Amino acid sequence: MVLLLFVDLDSELAALRPLGGFFVLRTGGAPRSSPPTLAHVYEGHAGRKHEGYEGYEGGASDPYGNALTFRVHKVAGALHAPETRVAASVAQQGLAARLWSVSLGCAVLYESLPDLDPRLLHWDPDGSAPDDLWLSAVRPLPADATTLADVVLQGHLQPLTQALCGAYRIAPGLLWGNAASALAGAARQVDVWARANGRTDAAARARDLATELLAHPLLAGAGTLTGTAFRRRSCCLYYRVPGGGVCGDCCFTRPPRSSPRGTSG
């Protein structure tokens, strides 16, 4: 019999700190930069179409008026991405990984999930973990896989996928593959920490939740999880970045020499 060890959900989500900055979520008072909520980001980007790399379109009073476009632009510049959709894919996977890390970490260590409603969660597209996300209020929710799916998949990744597909002509299956890969990666990091700290209960719970979430209709078929190893059935396009290569869970074993636009997603 395995005894599960949990702590009460606190207002600072302090139990996440030992997992590393990527799992940490800022809470409390308003951030100095006043970043937009993710609800504003998803709604403001819906229906946009972008061929090139644009920066913010908001004025001085609204510097985050086009936060998602700004983030894609920032990623494209950092990676020297040859195509907009490559930067959009990498940007989406990064945000998905942050959301999964926070939610899975809380589910495992607290057995409670803070409500990550997009209207409560602020995002700085120019920031990096742990300063990119800020939760205005900590409201506990159950930490079962169904609630995690409602909060992360349907509350965030579904509108994010719709926004990016509409703006950058990127394949939905590619983005859901990114979401599955990000979930598996978060579970793997929890497993590493848990085993290093003698928390086999936490390692088992992370794997169980990841397995159940990967069976969700939005992620089913995106890849195969074996233990903590994941092999996806799509490619995030990172190999198109100069010197990028393929990721450890990619469907390719080596970068394709050439492929028609869109077929590798």
The rounded average pLDDT for each run of 10 residues, N- to C-terminus, in the chain (265 residues) is 61 95 88 84 66 37 67 95 94 98 97 96 94 94 97 98 92 96 97 96 96 97 93 92 88 73 44
For residue 166, give every residue at least 6 positions away whose Cβ sits within 8 Å of its Cβ, in sequence order, or none.
46, 47, 48, 49
Per-residue pLDDT at 35: 87
- Per-domain residue ranges of the chain: 14-223
Looking at residue 238, its pLDDT comes to 87
Q: 224 and 211 in contact (C-beta within 8 Å)?
A: no
pLDDT at res. 5: 54
Residue 39 and residue 160: Cα distance in Å, rounded? 10
Q: How high is the pLDDT of residue 131?
A: 92
Four-CA torsion 96, 101, 103, 109, nearest 10 degrees: 170
Strands 133-135 and 26-27: parallel
DSSP 157: I
| Per-residue pLDDT, 37 | 93
Question: In b/e form, how buried is each residue of 103-122, taking b as 16+ CB within 10 angstroms?
Answer: bbbbbbbbbbbbbbbbebbb
Write down the pLDDT at residue 55: 38
Are 83 and 240 a contacting pair, CB within 8 Å?
A: yes
CA separation (Å) from 27 to 72, 90, 100, 132, 174?
25, 26, 17, 12, 32
Print the SS3 string covering 103-124: HHHHHHHCCCEECCCCCCEEEC
CB atoms within 10 A of CB 137: 12
Tokens 């396009």 belong to residue: 237
